[in-house]
A and B are shown apart, each in its own frame.
Chain A
């Protein structure tokens, strides 16, 4: 499978715990994005990497959230001290720099905070 992959697919955690999600983009894609989607809403942008550089962050990305993309390959999104409001689908997408920014999404990680 050469598409975007995300792990885990589901995560249930208790409030206050830390969680980490992983995204593996399409292999030749140098741009990687994280979005969050709640029920009945479109995905909302969180952050964006071009290769290993984090170039853009949304105001939605509070200081409890951190994302990395070491060596410009896979990326991780960590949420510290989770809150019930963090419950959502976390989506990763990737695209090619030399394109019209067509972004291809992974299957997502569904987070439930109890």
Chain B
């Protein structure tokens, strides 16, 4: 059973702090890794993807991938109350094209 694991949270951080969201996956052959943001009652919105080991930065967001440890993380710098949402980690396995999602981590940024 290919799985993606995330801490459900809630993760609470004050405004302006760095939020760190983590994800582990079981399929060692996984190729691509995605972070989606989902506001309550809305559909997932793609914010980052990464496919090679290391860091990838986009504005206030940094995705980190460590394939040896089967670990993906998302850092949100200068967190804002508008960042409060559920963050979904998703993985594309070696065998297919479907996204395998974790259950998501709820982030709450307090002003």
Binding site for B on A (CB under 8 A): 31, 33, 35, 40-45, 48, 55-56, 58, 89, 91, 93, 100-108
Contact = CB atoms under 8 A, between A and B. Distances in A.
Nearest to A4: B43
Given A100-B32, A100-B49, A101-B92, A43 B44 contact: yes
A44 B4 CA distance: 12
Contact of A102 (B43, B49, B98, B101): B49
Given A102-B49, A105-B45, A40 B97 contact: no
Given A35-B99, A44-B101, A93-B99, 17 more contacts: A31-B97, A33-B99, A40-B103, A41-B103, A42-B4, A42-B88, A42-B101, A42-B103, A43-B99, A45-B98, A48-B98, A58-B98, A91-B44, A100-B32, A101-B32, A101-B99, A102-B34
B60 interface: no
A65 to B, nearest CB: 15
Given A33-B98, A56-B96, A100-B51, A42 B43 contact: no
Nearest to B34: A102
B99 A45 contact: yes
B16 to A, nearest CB: 29
29 contacts: A33-B98, A35-B99, A40-B103, A42-B88, A42-B90, A42-B101, A43-B99, A43-B101, A44-B101, A45-B98, A45-B99, A45-B100, A48-B98, A56-B96, A89-B43, A93-B99, A100-B31, A100-B49, A101-B92, A101-B99, A102-B34, A102-B46, A102-B49, A103-B34, A105-B44, A105-B46, A107-B42, A107-B43, A108-B43
A100 B98 CA distance: 12
A108 B92 CA distance: 21
Contacts of B34: 102-103
Nearest to B49: A102
